[in-house]
Structure 1
Amino acid sequence: MLTLALVCSLCLGYEVQCIEEEDGQCIRCPRGYFVNQRLNACVWSRTSEPPIICPDGYFLDSGLCTQCHSSCETCAGSAGPEGCTLCARGYYPTVLEASGLCIPCSTSHGAVAGIPGCTHCARDGDSLYCFERRTMKSNAAAVRKAFLISLVVLVLALFSSLILVFAGGSKVKHRQRRLPLRYVARHKMV
């Protein structure tokens, strides 16, 4: 019966990595776990509480899963921005080693220059690469909007010109040229 409980513990994810191995065999486990020789793994001890395993984006704090800072994809031991073990999308780590602090892609930090409008980036040394920018989408929308407005203005101007030509043309009166009186008096017919 005890073996079945150990197998079920493994199925539930209550196994952890060995702290110490010798000749490929696990010989020491973290507190609350014991070595199962048959499985060569550390499994939860029935005499202790089952371990609390927090999902990504949370960390264990006083027996409760607490949400990581919004700049963290995963974190360990801190709800602040300096507790990140993996940066969330839109952030990059301050240094190549895991320092725990994640900076927004659009913000400069140290030797790394931020990229304005960048919403997804990756860091390689002192270089930052942007995979997705917010400005690309808004620029395309602005160009489309400006084109449509220009097209509407052009069509309105064309129709206004046509209306003026046709409506104004019927009101134009052709005047007969009047000759000055001197001219008429000299050339009077007898």
Structure 2
Amino acid sequence: MLARMVGNHCDLRPRVRPGARGGRRGCHRPGPRAVHPAPGPGLDDGRRRSPGLRGAGGGRGDGAVDGGGRRVPAQPRGPHLMFHQSVIRVRAGTKTDRGGNVVKDWASASKALIGSLSVQPAVQSEESDPTRTAVVTGWRVLSAPGTAPDIRADDRIEHAGMVCEVEGEVAAWPDPLTGGVHHVEFVIKRATG
């Protein structure tokens, strides 16, 4: 099966044979038995608008349409393509207990939206004993280059409707050119059961 697929695709094994006018052409055949289907209406290569059409902006989301004539939604661009997520930082307030000590007060916690992040799955584990089954799920959170969000190890993070704990210290990666912070990384975890 793989040999047949390789034999039919020009990117994997190029084949050049004479064309109808004696010139050389690639392995693509026109018609219903084509190796690659023809691009949709208004698209020259399946991704960009053909020149001269209204709204031709040169990429997906700039007035482009898919093969069915539907508009393609705009997509993030540039070097920060993956940093489009956000979380809510929950920071505990403080209160004085009966002994005169300053302690955390989660009832008076403050919340702040932290954006320009990439939240990626990192840890999934399940531990069971005769009385319960504990499920631990974790995510690695990276900030966009050039940003240093205010996150501390004692904060809680709300992500996808779940409240997670920051595990360990927040790592600030240095920028080798400026000496400042390039980006920040930390791990959040949630345990249930």
Q: Fold conserved (TM > 0.5)?
A: no
TM-score by length of 2: 0.24
* Bigger-Rg structure (1/2): 1
Bigger fraction of residues in strand: 2
Instruction: Choose between structure 1 and 2 for higher RCO, CA contacts under 8 A separated by at least 6 residues.
Output: 2
TM-score by length of 1: 0.24
